[in-house]
């Protein structure tokens, strides 16, 4: 059973960089066939796809965040990461990491981590 | 971008009754080469991540009760719960995976009447 767990960065100030790590267990992120994604959800609101990374190094980002986002992978630790720079209050949300099949289905999700941006 | 619009935003149904949630995409998400609709349905309960219920518009995931069914094709889709149970109270989201960026509907909150 694949499990994903997000790190907990907690509170950030505006203009800082959000850094999150997703640790995957029960399967290798280097196994091919899957993308590794980040999705966020402001409190009481809907889901926003942030981006994805394949083991080849290929990345795709939501155009609404593309200028501020980087997703990377550390296969030796079975982890992938999200960096979001120049955060504002609007980036306050629960951030989820998820596995995506080659078809585009989000089949496994982490429990989510709340990130708050406040001065 | 392909925009996904759900209706209604909220819904109250009596236990044992049918619940129907609609989802409309701004573009056709039926891929002609394989005749598959790239539409998924998720269930999200408070404090939990979304759970994948249905893929390819109508394929139930393993372990999902058969009271959940998906239908539709092209641009119009429906999630039906045939006999509402108390544990089905949740927010339901549709999502297109036809093209990047992947977009979710705004969600439909399902409650007990």
In a mutagenesis test of the A interface, which of B101, B106, B108, B109 is the best target, namely the one with the most A β-carbons within 10 Å?
A: B101
Asked if A106 and B40 come within 8 Å (Cβ–Cβ), the reply is: yes
pLDDT at B33 over 90: yes
Average pLDDT, chain A: 95
- Does the distance separating the beta carbons of B93 and A47 come in below 8 Å? yes
Containing H/E element for B41?
strand B39-44
- Copy the structure tokens of residue B65: 């009760």
Q: What integer is the mean pLDDT of B55-84?
A: 98
Q: pLDDT per residue over A27-68, tens digit each? A: 999 887 899 999 999 999 999 999 999 988 899 999 999 999
**Residue A23, number of CB atoms within 10 A of its CB:** 17
The H or E element containing residue A80 is strand A79-84
Torsional class of A31: left (φ above 0), alpha (ψ -120 to 50), beta (otherwise): alpha
* pLDDT value for B41: 98
pLDDT > 90? residue B101: yes
Percent of chain B with pLDDT over 90: 100
A118 is written with which tokens?
A: 């406040």
The predicted structure's pLDDT at residue B6: 98
Which chain A residues are within 8 Å of B48, Cβ to Cβ? 111
CB–CB contact B97 A62 (8 Å): no
A112/B49 touch (CB, cutoff 8 Å), yes or no: yes
pLDDT on residue B7: 95
Interface subset of A 72-111, CB within 8 angstroms of B: 96, 98, 103-107, 109-111
Write down the pLDDT at residue A32. Answer: 75
Residue A66, exposed/middle/buried by CB under 10 A (0-12, 13-18, 19+)? middle
Query: Parallel, antiparallel, or unpaired for β B90-96 and B103-104?
Result: antiparallel
What backbone phi and psi angles, to 5 degrees, belong to A91?
A: -90, 0
* Residues facing B110 on adjacent strands: B11, B90
Tokens 């790239």 identify what position? B38
Cα separation of A83 and A22, whole Å? 12
Which strand (E) or helix (H) includes residue A22?
strand A18-25
- Interface check for A46 against chain B (CB to CB < 8 A): the answer is yes
User: Is A49 within 8 Å of B107 when comparing Cβ atoms?
Assistant: no
> What's residue A10's pLDDT?
80
At residue A13 the predicted structure's pLDDT band, cuts being 50, 70 and 90, is very high
Q: What is the mean pLDDT of chain B?
A: 97
Residue B106 predicted with pLDDT over 90: yes
Mean per-residue pLDDT, A86-107: 96
């Amino acid at each position: 059973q694949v499990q994903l767990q997000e790190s907990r960065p907690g509170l950030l100030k505006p203009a800082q960089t959000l850094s999150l790590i997703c640790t995957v267990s029960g399967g290798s992120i280097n196994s091919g066939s899957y993308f590794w994604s980040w999705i966020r959800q402001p409190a009481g609101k809907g889901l926003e796809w942030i981006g994805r990374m394949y083991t080849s190094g290929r990345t795709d980002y939501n155009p609404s965040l593309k200028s501020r986002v980087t997703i990377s992978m550390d296969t030796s630790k079975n982890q992938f990461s999200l960096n979001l720079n120049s955060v504002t209050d609007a980036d306050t949300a629960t951030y989820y990491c998820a596995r995506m099949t080659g078809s585009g289905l989000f089949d496994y999700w982490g429990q989510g981590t709340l990130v708050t941006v406040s001065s | 971008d392909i925009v996904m619009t759900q209706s209604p935003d909220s819904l109250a149904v009596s236990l044992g009754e049918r619940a129907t949630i609609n989802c409309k995409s701004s573009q056709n998400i039926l891929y002609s080469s394989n005749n598959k609709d790239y539409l998924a349905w998720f269930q999200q309960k408070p404090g939990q991540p979304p759970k994948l219920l249905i893929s390819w518009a109508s394929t139930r995931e393993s372990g999902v009760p058969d009271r959940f069914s998906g239908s539709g094709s092209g641009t119009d889709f429906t999630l039906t719960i045939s006999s509402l149970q108390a544990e089905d109270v949740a927010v339901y989201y549709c999502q297109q995976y036809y093209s990047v960026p992947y977009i979710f509907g705004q969600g439909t909150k399902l409650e007990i009447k």
